[in-house]
A and B are shown apart, each in its own frame.
Chain A
Amino acid sequence: MKLKELVEKFDLQIQCASDRLEREIKGGYVSDLLSDVIANGRAGDVWITLQIHQNIVGVASLKDLAAIIIINGRQPEENTIEKAKNEGIPIMVSKMCAFELVGRLYNAGISGTR
């Protein structure tokens, strides 16, 4: 599935890098620990987290993640969006909680294993 389809299907609010939504999603990862994502995130993953600070962008770039989805309607900090624009990392916000969102993504065919 492409990021673009994900945005429409799950009513995600795009915060930045809307020109990068043609990318194909390879899988998903959910974690609120940066060190865990650095260790286990894979290129092309969508990353589901509640963290809103700018270091999430660095981690997403480092691991070549497809996008960051922030849950519970939390708004990313301003400098997070600024950095994500520069790095070309799409950030989306979902009103859902992590459990609900991940369940729906899984049902839509996005998996945590490859």
Chain B
Amino acid sequence: MLGWLRGDLHIHTCLSPCADSGMLPMAIVKEAKKNNLQMIGICDHNSVENVEAVRKAGKRAGLAVMGGIEITSQEEVHILGLFSRKSALWDIQDMVYKSLSGDNDENLFGEQICVDEYDRVIGSNKRLLIGATGLTLEKIVGAIHHLGGLAVASHIDRQSFSIISQLGFIPGGLTLDALEISPLASRERRYAFCQKYDFPLLTFSDAHCLNDIGKSFSSFLIERASLEETKKALTDDNGRKVSIE
């Protein structure tokens, strides 16, 4: 049976250098439940290393957690990849790490903390996660689809790291599954994007601190909280649909 589920599928953890160090698995899950979200997605910059921890914390609390990543393309465009299979996460991770160079400087860009499902620190990531990969947009979207994932262009209304800020348009033939609008965009602006682009629109919080979780979410009319159902909602498959109202 179909029912409306609220999803905030773009949330960062303390692994992202620009995110607050309080973005820990149990804290994120607690905040998401408090905000009546039924599913969340974890998308750190160029890394999936904290996904499993949040997924396990979510499982204990009865919250669906989708694994994802926010990849920075060669053009410095952010693309979200969301996956259902654990192996796909490691495969995409592998591809990203191979084309990401440089070491992080914690003082300049922020800490990159790896944690377990009980919010315990287990290490830190030394890579320059804030950096850009050498991968083109086409290559990233292609790889996400090849691994069965969902490819979404991040915060297209923002002035930095969005496909519109970097390119000014969406290249023909780029098979994105959806475009994400940030919580900052007004109702009028959202409507304008709806008119302008022939892609489904989603909105998520892109939370970098606990207070921002659920600030913006999309509602999915689906059977259960899963990536497959989310995909179906984006193509209006069998009565499923998505709403950003």
**Residue B105 contacts which of A34, A52, A58 (CB distance < 8 angstroms)?**
A58
Q: Is A35 an interface residue (CB 8 A)?
A: yes
Secondary structure class of chain A's binding surface, majority of residues? helix
Contacts of A33 in B (CB 8 A): 75-76, 132
A53: interface (CB < 8 Å): yes
CB contacts (< 8 Å) of B131 on chain A: these are: 34-35, 38
Q: Nearest residue in B to A87 (C-beta to C-beta)? A: B108
Interface hits, A25-84 → B, CB 8 Å: 33-35, 38, 51-53, 55, 57-58, 61-62
Q: Which of A52, A55, A61 is close to B130, meaning CB atoms less than 8 Å apart?
A: A55
Chain A residue contacts of B105, Cβ below 8 A:
58, 62
Closest CB in chain B relative to A47 CB, distance in Å: 15
The answer to whether B160 and A58 have CB atoms under 8 Å apart is no
**B109: Cβ under 8 A from any A Cβ:** yes
On chain B, the residues within 8 Å of A34 by CB distance are 76, 131-132
CA distance A38 to B205 in the complex (A): 29
- How many residues on chain A are close to B (CB under 8 Å)? 13
* Known contacts A34-B76, A51-B160, A52-B160: A58-B109 contact under CB 8 Å: yes
B residues less than 8 Å from A61 (CB atoms): 108
Q: Collect the chain A residues with CB atoms within 8 Å of residue B195's CB.
A: none
Say if the beta carbon of B159 comes within 8 Å of chain A.
yes
| A residues less than 8 Å from B108 (CB atoms) | 57-58, 61-62, 87
Q: Does B62 contact A (CB under 8 A)?
A: no
A35–B76 contact, CB under 8 A? yes
Residues in B with CB closer than 8 Å to A38 are 102, 131
With a cutoff of 8 Å between Cβ atoms, the chain B residues found around residue A87 in the complex are 108
Report B75-114 residues with CB < 8 Å from chain A CB: 75-76, 102, 105, 108-109
Look across to chain B and name the residue whose beta carbon is closest to the beta carbon of A59.
Answer: B108
Q: Distance in Å from the Cβ of A73 to the closest Cβ of chain B? A: 14
CB neighbours of A51 from chain B (8 A): 160
Q: Which residues of B11-26 have CB atoms within 8 Å of chain A's CB atoms?
A: 18
With A33-B75, A57-B108 already in contact, 9 other A-B pairs whose C-beta atoms are closer than 8 Å: A34-B131, A35-B74, A38-B131, A51-B160, A53-B159, A55-B130, A58-B109, A58-B130, A62-B105
Interface residues of B (CB under 8 A from A): 18, 74-76, 102, 105, 108-109, 130-132, 159-161
A selection of 6 A-B contacts at a CB cut-off of 8 Å is A33-B75, A34-B76, A38-B102, A38-B131, A52-B159, A52-B160
